[in-house]
């Protein structure tokens, strides 16, 4: 077997071994949390952008995953050796795919987990559900930045995760700086697209220069016949040049915006929110991008003032940060629609558990996240009937969220059962020792408590699994 036919590639959870068209990954079984191997079958489902996982087996205290792989596919580890146009095209395709967007699986963006074939074919190998090992130390934006910068510069991915500015050590390119400074995934996508356009333009320029040299030689050797061809090619070049000039102007515009972006960063660092807003306007930020910049800094009211239509996204972020009490202080700006104002009132009613408002709105609500919050409020306040109504509606809108709410209701019931059985055991232990039936009563109470705790553990496990799945 030649070295070319065999590749060993390390990712966070194990080592890939490639032999021709087969790719295997062995992981210690102790890293998994499944009861049955069949619980992993969902990752075998064929999906676009992913290598086909052909088989999962247990072998010598290891779980072995086998993927099908085209012989033409290249490991992304080899990308830094490719021409710049290929590297930028692959980086653009990675951001276009945005495989981390839906959060259904935990996907490694380690270059050793990614395969490509020029110019726009990119496939990912290992993806994990909640029962499989995964590395979740960094957020999606940090992973994408590290991967894109790796594609463009060859700087090790692992170093870029912690410090993306490492990519600038050898090259202070302003285009790379745009990537480092990107505040969200959408901004990063835009930066990568612009870089790909610019590199493509430069590549075409090189081609044009070579063509011009060839034309000159042809002019000397071919006489009058070549004149017609050269003139024709010259016309094509003239038309293309307009495109190139437009791209160049676009690039200069982006450089100008980048300069204003420095002022944005300074104002944000100094917590001068109004000045930051003005700088963002000068930098050409869209309303959405401006609001998301505030939101990434947990400046909820500023984000809401900028783009009231993002209310639900802002609420979700506040819940994620355990800042739900802040919502009670929010005010909708004058530019907000009546629908947005009503929505904020409902969110405050959920937190305050204004049961009249919640029950009145329950039959009309169609948003999965809002229904889940309403259902949790009902459940927390022992309103099983309305919680069940919310759960039934939620299943029809979003099954995962509906299952999660059901699991929360089951857990609450299990917790109550544990408390009740613990009290019964305490009461049994208080029975006078002279009572001949005490032993049997204590034994029965202990047995019931143990069963209740098992049910509680099962319910908690289900909640934990679904919680991660729905991103709550």
Three state DSSP letters for 46-101: CCCCECCEEEEEEECCEEEEEEECCCCCEEHHHHHHCCHHHHHHHHHHHHHHCCCC
pLDDT, residue 140, reads: 94
Closest CA to 14 of 135, 106, 131: 135
Q: Where are the domains of the chain?
A: 3-68, 74-185, 186-282, 355-472
Q: How is residue 457 written in tokens? A: 């553990």
Q: Tokens 């934006």: give the residue.
A: 141
pLDDT, residue 259, reads: 59
Determine the distance from the C-alpha atom of residue 229 to the mean position of all C-alpha atoms in its chain, rounded to a whole number. 52
User: Do residues 99 and 87 make contact, with C-beta atoms less than 8 angstroms apart?
Assistant: no
Q: Which CATH architecture has domain 3-68?
A: 2-Layer Sandwich (3.30)
Is CATH 3.90.580.10 what the domain over 74-185 is classified as, yes or no? no
pLDDT, residue 211, reads: 43
pLDDT, residue 233, reads: 39
Q: Which residues of the chain have pLDDT under 50?
A: 1-3, 204, 206-208, 210-212, 214-238, 240, 244, 248
User: Do residues 288 and 307 make contact, with C-beta atoms less than 8 angstroms apart?
Assistant: yes
User: Residue 392 and residue 384: Cα distance in Å, rounded?
Assistant: 12
Q: What are the Cα distances from residue 94, in Å, to 87, 121, 135, 306? A: 11, 9, 19, 30
pLDDT, residue 265, reads: 80
User: Do residues 23 and 17 make contact, with C-beta atoms less than 8 angstroms apart?
Assistant: yes
User: Do residues 113 and 146 make contact, with C-beta atoms less than 8 angstroms apart?
Assistant: no
Q: What angle do CA 332, 333, 336 make, to 5 degrees?
A: 80
pLDDT, residue 238, reads: 47
């Amino acid at each position: 077997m030649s070295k070319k036919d065999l590749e060993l590639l390390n990712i966070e959870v194990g080592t890939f071994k490639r032999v021709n068209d087969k790719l295997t990954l062995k992981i210690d079984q102790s890293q998994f949390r499944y009861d049955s191997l069949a619980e992993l079958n969902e990752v075998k489902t064929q999906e676009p952008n992913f290598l086909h996982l052909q088989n999962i087996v247990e072998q010598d205290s290891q779980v072995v995953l086998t993927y099908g792989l085209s012989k033409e596919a290249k490991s992304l580890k080899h990308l830094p050796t490719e021409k710049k146009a290929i590297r930028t095209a692959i980086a653009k395709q990675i951001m276009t795919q945005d495989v981390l967007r839906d959060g259904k699986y935990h996907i490694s963006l380690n270059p050793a987990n990614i395969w490509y074939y020029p110019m726009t074919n990119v496939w990912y190998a290992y993806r994990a559900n909640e029962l499989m090992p995964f590395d979740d130390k960094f957020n999606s934006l940090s992973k994408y930045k590290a991967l894109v910068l790796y594609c463009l510069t060859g700087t090790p991915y692992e170093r870029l995760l912690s410090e993306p500015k490492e990519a600038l050590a050898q090259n202070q390119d302003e285009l790379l700086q745009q990537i480092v400074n990107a505040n969200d995934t959408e901004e990063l996508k835009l930066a990568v697209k612009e870089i790909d356009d610019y590199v493509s333009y430069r590549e075409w320029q090189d081609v044009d220069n070579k063509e011009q040299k060839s034309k000159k030689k042809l002019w000397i050797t071919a006489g009058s016949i070549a004149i017609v061809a050269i003139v024709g090619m010259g016309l094509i070049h003239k038309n293309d040049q307009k495109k190139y000039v437009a791209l160049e102007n676009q690039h200069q515009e982006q450089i100008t915006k980048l300069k204003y972006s420095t002022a944005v960063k300074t104002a944000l660092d100094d917590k001068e929110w109004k000045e930051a807003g003005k700088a963002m306007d000068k930098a050409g930020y869209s309303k959405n991008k401006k609001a998301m910049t505030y939101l990434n800094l947990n400046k909820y009211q500023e984000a809401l003032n900028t783009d009231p239509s993002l209310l639900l996204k802002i609420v979700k972020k506040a819940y994620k940060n355990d800042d739900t009490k802040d919502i009670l202080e929010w005010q909708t700006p004058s530019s907000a629609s009546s629908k947005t104002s009503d929505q904020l009132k409902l969110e405050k009613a959920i937190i305050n558990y204004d049961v009249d408002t919640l029950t009145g709105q329950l039959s009309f609500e169609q948003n999965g996240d809002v229904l889940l919050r309403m259902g949790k409020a009902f459940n927390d306040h022992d309103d099983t009937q309305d919680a069940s109504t919310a759960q039934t509606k939620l299943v029809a809108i979003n099954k995962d969220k509906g299952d999660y709410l059901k699991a929360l209701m089951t857990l609450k019931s299990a917790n109550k059962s544990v408390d009740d059985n613990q009290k019964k055991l305490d009461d049994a232990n208080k029975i006078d020792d002279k009572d001949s039936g005490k032993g049997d009563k204590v034994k029965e109470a202990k047995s019931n408590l143990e069963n209740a705790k098992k049910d509680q553990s099962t319910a908690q496990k289900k909640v934990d699994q679904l919680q991660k799945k729905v991103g709550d």
